[in-house]
Each structure stands twice: as structure tokens, then as C-alpha cells.
Amino acid sequence: MADLFRILAAFLALYMQRITPGAPKLQPIVRPPTATATRTATFTPTPTATFTIPPTKPPTQPPPTATAKPAVSSADPVGFAVVGVPPAQKLPAAFLVYPLVRSLTTSDRTIDTTIELMNLSSTLVTLQCFYVQGTTCNEIGFWVTLTGQQPIAWKARTGVGGTGRRVAPPFTGDGELKCAVVPNTSDVSSYNTVQGRAIVSDAPTQPVASDTAAQTVGYSAIAFRRLSSGDFTGEIALDGITYEMCPDRLHFQVLANKGDFDSELILVPCAQDLERQLPSGANIQLAVINEFENRLSGATSVKCFNRISFGTLPSLRRTSVGTDTAHLIVYGTDVPVVGLVIDRFKVPDTGAPSTSSNEPYLEGGRPAIVQLP
């Protein structure tokens, strides 16, 4: 279809040139006409994070960051005008980011994550995946192969899937997971093939009769589509040309912290150099708007992974917000970020604990680079 479109566009352009009065006479065509209607990105970001790896000496430049600063805007809640195009979600994608993977066993709680990957194409797909430890920012890499339409799932703690086969190395602690499609061909359709999801479960290690349900958070991995053909190099340029851009800002609708049950904000920077193990770090600007349209601001930071309880953010306490729900806008000032909120509240009347995921709405786009080893 794309070829037909290009040929038609080229033919039309030639014909228009032919019938335009005063147009220079057409020269004999030696080669078949090349497409004149080349696809051009409507947003032309400048991928400034084009770092090169010096072969001998250790790097001296800072880790890759999206340095293109949007214009300051006093009308905007976070102070910067929205730029760029965000990544479209729920579509077959080439690069997945799972912002929260937890695996922990203590004397009173057992926490584990079921990671799901699904091949939406009918061909074999190979993925290069990396856990990133939240405390050390170190990575653990592995490869996953999916046959046509195959679903696969494994527990982070053991790395073992439902069929009893080990899929990934065991993972302990808190962190994130990134998976990139390594295609068989350089065509875009070979890249955009997968989707992912994770379920973080938390239950008492020794359940008693009053424990009726595990606390479960299920969320979809944030997905980036490949936009142009080319070979896979390990450099995931989220620039709106090679891959979709990172979201400029994240919008959450959250429950204000009431003290008895604390929601959490999980943030991961979009730019990451896993080859040189250089976390990019980001300062985070928060804008909080309550149901009366009153605005508050706040700030925090993230190195490579951060779990922040709402109770530690004064602008998200019920006493500050003034209403039960708030519109939270998260903006990485240096590097765009992706993230997730875990909503926690007590069910009215019964007081039973309730936990659920809260995925952000994405607005705008900024470039970033993820460098895989």
C-alpha cells in the first residue's frame, strides 16, 4: 500500500509539472521515479543526545539527556509549554518500559511480580530485556523469544514461567524492566509486534482468616513504536523519528493522602545509558490542581527509579489539597519521565484496604535516548 501511495504521488507530481504553463520540459527519465512524497515528521525534534562512545578513555560528558528545553509558559501549570507528540498506547510496539517490578519476601509480607509479554504478530520475535535495580541502577540483561501470537509470563522472583521453564534471571528488590524488539528485518512491521503487562501482588506471608484478598496492582507497560525502518543498534532513539518520543508530561488523577492509607508515585527517567551504567537523573516538577481549580506545586527528584509515598509530598496531602481527588501533573525538568501511581484507599463503610494501579495520561513529547549494551 505504501508503495502504491508513493508511485501515485510521484506520478501526480510529474503530471502536475507537465501541465503547468511555463514549466520546464520534462527530461527523459533514466531511472524509475523515486517517491517525491517522502514522509516527513510533523514535529521535527532535535535529538541532541547523540552521544558517541569513546573507544579508549572513560566518558567525560554527562549521560544522555533531552536538552531541548521547551519555552517557559506562565499560563501552563508546570511552567513550560507543551511540545511534541506523545507515544500512542495499547498498540503493537517495539520498546516496552515496565516502571515497577517488585520481588521481596519478609517475615510478614510476600511481594512478587508476574511479568507478561505477548506477541501480536504471527512471526517469531526476539526481545532484549533488562531489569534495572532501583537502588543501584545496575542492569541485568536477558533475551526472550516469542513464537507467533505467543503469550509468555514469569514471576520476577524466580524467573520461571507458567510452563515450568526459566525465562528470565531471578530478580530481587524494587526496580524496572525494559524490553526492546530485536527484529528479523529492518522493516517497521518487524519492530512493532509486542505488548506487555505486569501484575504486582502483595499478600501476608502467613495469611490468617481475616485476610480475604491479596493486594494486586496490574498495569500495562509503557510502549513506544518504531517509526522508521532501519537496523537495530541498541541505541533506542526516542526522538519522534526513529521511535516515538517520551511523553513531555504525565497527568494523573489521584486520591489525596489522608494519612491512614498512602498512595505511591513511581517514576523512571526516560533517558538511560545501560551500556555505561550512567543513570540520567531528573528533577521533577509537580503541579497539583484540586476540584476547585486551586493550584499547588511541589518538587522531587529521581535518579533511575523512585518510589515516593504521597505522605512525603506535602502538596498531595488531603489537608493541603482540600478535596479528595486531585489532578497531578508530573514534569521532568531535565529529562522526560515515565511512571505509575498506586492508588490506595479504604472502602467506605467496611474499611477494607483497596489497592489498584493508576496509569498516566500522556501529553506532548520530548526526545530521549536509551542505550542498551
Partner 1 sequence: MRRPALYDAGGAEVMKRAGHVAVTVVLWGTLGAVLAVRAYAAPPAQKLPSALLVYPLIEACPSGDRACALTDEDGGDTRIELVNLTGASQQVQCFYVYGDTCNEIGFFIALTPYQPLSWFATQGLNNVITGSSAPPFVGVGELKCAVVPPESATDLSAHNSIQGRATVFRANGRTVSYGAVGFQRLTPGPYTGEIQLNGSTYAQCPDKLHFDVFADQPTGTPSTASELILLTCSEDLVLQAPKTITVQLLVVNEFEQTVSLASKVTCFDRRTLGALGGPLERTTLGSETAHLIVRGSEGPLLGLVIDDVPFAGLSGTAGNEPSFQGGRSATVLLP
CA-closest candidate to residue 180, choices 239, 246, 124, 125: 125
Q: Which of residues 273-302 bind partner 1 (CB under 8 A)?
A: 289-291, 293, 295
Q: State in angstroms the smallest separation of the CB of 24 from partner 1.
A: 17
Residue 74 CB neighbours (<10 A) = 6
Spatial neighbors of 343 by CB under 8 A, at least 6 apart, are 254, 255, 263, 354, 355, 356, 357, 358
Among 138, 251, 301, 314, binds partner 1 (CB under 8 A): 251
Of 103, 190, 280, 355, the one binding partner 1 (CB under 8 A) is 355
| 88 touching partner 1, by CB under 8 A | yes
Distance of closest approach, residue 281 Cβ to partner 1, in angstroms: 25
261 scored as a contact of partner 1 (CB under 8 A)? no
Contact between 205 and partner 1 (CB under 8 A)? yes
Q: How far is the CB of 163 from partner 1 (least distance, A)?
A: 5
Residue pair 102/171 in contact by the 8 Å Cβ criterion: no
Nearer to partner 1, 8 or 299 (CB): 8
Cell numbers placing 45: 525534534
* One residue of 265, 267, 302, 326 binding partner 1 per CB under 8 A: 326
* CA torsion angle 224 131 138 249 (round to 10): 30
CB-nearer residue toward partner 1: 138 or 201: 201
- Backbone φ, ψ for residue 165 (5° rounding): -95, 140
The interface region with partner 1, picked from 28-36, 52-60, 195-203, 229-237 by CB under 8 A, is: 195-203
Nearer to partner 1, 137 or 227 (CB): 227
Q: How far apart are CA 238 and CA 81, in angstroms?
A: 20
The answer to the question of residue 264 lying near partner 1 (CB under 8 A) is no
Residues paired with residue 176 on neighbouring β-strands, in sequence order: 132
Distances (CA, A) of 292 to 76, 78, 113, 280, 349: 17, 18, 38, 36, 26
**Beta carbon of residue 94, minimum distance to partner 1 (angstroms, whole number):** 13
**Intra-chain end-to-end CA distance of the chain, in Å:** 36
Which of 19, 29, 30, 209 forms a contact with partner 1 (CB under 8 A)? 19
Number of residues located near partner 1, criterion CB under 8 A: 83
Among 357, 367, 371, 372, binds partner 1 (CB under 8 A): 357
Q: Which of residues 134-163 bind partner 1 (CB under 8 A)?
A: 147-153, 161-163
> By CB under 8 A, what part of segment 332-351 binds partner 1?
343, 347-350
Residues 54-73 that bind partner 1 (CB under 8 A): none
Residue 7 Cβ, how far from partner 1 at the closest point, in Å?
A: 10
Smallest CA-to-CA distance from 291 within 340, 339, 253, 251 is with 253
337 neighbors 281 (Cβ within 8 angstroms)? no
Residue 208 engages partner 1 in binding (rule: CB under 8 A): no
Among 158, 215, 309, 333, binds partner 1 (CB under 8 A): 215
Any idea how long the chain is?
373
104 touching partner 1, by CB under 8 A: no
The least distance separating partner 1 from the CB of residue 50, rounded to whole angstroms, comes to 28
Q: Which residues contact 94 (CB under 8 A, 6 or more apart)?
A: 180, 181, 183, 191, 192, 193, 194, 224, 225, 226, 243
Alpha carbons 100 and 238: distance in angstroms, whole number: 20
**Residue 90 in the binding site for partner 1 (CB under 8 A):** yes
Q: Which of 23, 26, 91, 299 binds partner 1 (CB under 8 A)?
A: 91
